[in-house]
Every structure is written in C-alpha cells, then in structure tokens.
C-alpha cells in the first residue's frame, strides 16, 4: 500500500483554528470534538487514498471534502504529498475560495 505525506499549509492551520474558535464561541464542546474527529478520519483516508474525494471544479490537483456541513477541506495532491490548503467555512462567500486557493 502506498502512503502519502500530509503537509499543512499556514492557511490550513489558521483556518482550522479559526473554525475551532468559532465552534467554541457559538457551539458546544461536542461539536468541537466532532470536528476534530472527522478531520482526523479524513486525514487518515488522505494518507492512503487522496484521490477518493471529488476534484475542485476542473482543477487537476485540488480536491475537496466536506468535513461537516459547515466546513469543507480543500487539499492538493503533488506526487507523494497531500497539502492541506484551507478549511473553508461554507457560510462564507463561495467566490472567496478561488481567491484563497490562488494565494
């Protein structure tokens, strides 16, 4: 079985924490734990099968997976590396995704 390296971008780390901060402010500890668990489950899958999830629009290397209905993870596959790009809050303007992914 082939394994991929998971690499977190600064933006993914920042947006991951922003989502936890948001959950702390407006939701319960259970929602925070659920978000963290779901994220860990997705990362476990990405280590062996990153092509499992749908591609972002027509982009050849960026994929997306809904972690919770409010949060989507965008990531990019480069050879043996899977770069986590952003944990996007789905309540934001969807046009913002393209701008963020181009940074």
**9-63: per-residue pLDDT in tens?**
999 999 999 999 998 998 889 999 999 999 999 999 999 999 989 998 877 889 9
Domain 5-101, CATH: 3.30.2310.20
Element (H, E) at 45: helix 29-48
For the cut 90, the answer to whether the pLDDT of residue 101 exceeds it is no
**49-98: per-residue pLDDT in tens?**
999 899 988 778 899 999 998 899 999 999 999 999 999 988 888 888 87
Q: Higher confidence at residue 101 or residue 90?
A: 90
Work out whether strand 5-8 and strand 81-89 pair parallel, antiparallel, or are unpaired.
Answer: parallel
* 3-class secondary-structure state, position 60: coil
Q: Higher confidence at residue 19 or residue 99?
A: 19
pTM (two decimals): 0.91
d(CA 72, CA 87): 6
């Amino acid at each position: 079985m082939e394994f991929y390296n998971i690499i977190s971008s600064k933006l993914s780390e920042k947006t991951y924490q922003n989502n936890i901060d948001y959950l702390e402010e407006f939701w319960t500890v259970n929602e925070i734990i659920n978000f963290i668990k779901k994220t860990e489950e997705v990362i476990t899958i990405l280590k062996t099968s990153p092509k499992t999830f749908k591609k972002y629009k027509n982009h050849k290397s960026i994929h997306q997976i809904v972690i919770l209905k409010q949060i989507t993870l965008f990531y990019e596959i480069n050879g043996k590396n899977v770069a986590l790009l952003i944990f996007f809050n789905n309540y934001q303007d969807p046009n913002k995704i393209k701008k963020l992914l181009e940074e």
